[in-house]
Amino acid sequence: MKVTAIKCPRCGDTIYSRSRHDYRCCTCKATNIDGGLDYVKVGFITEIDPPKTLKIEVSATKEELYKDWNFSVEKFGLIKGEKE
């Protein structure tokens, strides 16, 4: 399924929210995303450029993403990256 994600310009992580109340931060804590599949709310510190918004394909169902968040499995939601 396709999800909306953001890429942090500081650490290069790509993050996406798995569920409505899943507030995710990148590794360096400079960017965050919330809302899951219901809405997208993005935040970032003002000392960096705004993060890039991406549509990415995730090999999981909506139910799998919810369970991953709800039961703190942490398999999905963060793709470690490198700064561009």
Contacts of 54 (CB under 8 A, 6+ apart): 4, 5, 6, 7, 14
Long-range Cβ contact pairs of 73-76 (< 8 A, separation 24 or more)? 76/16, 76/18
Query: Looking at the whole model, is its pTM more than 0.85?
Result: yes
7: helix, coil or strand? strand
Chunked into runs of 10 residues, the chain (84 residues) has average pLDDT values of 96 97 96 96 93 96 97 96 71
Note the pLDDT of residue 82.
Answer: 74
Note the pLDDT of residue 25.
Answer: 97
Note the pLDDT of residue 34.
Answer: 97
Q: Which two tokens stand for residue 84?
A: 């561009």
Note the pLDDT of residue 81.
Answer: 92
In whole angstroms, what is the distance from residue 18 CA to residue 20 CA? 7
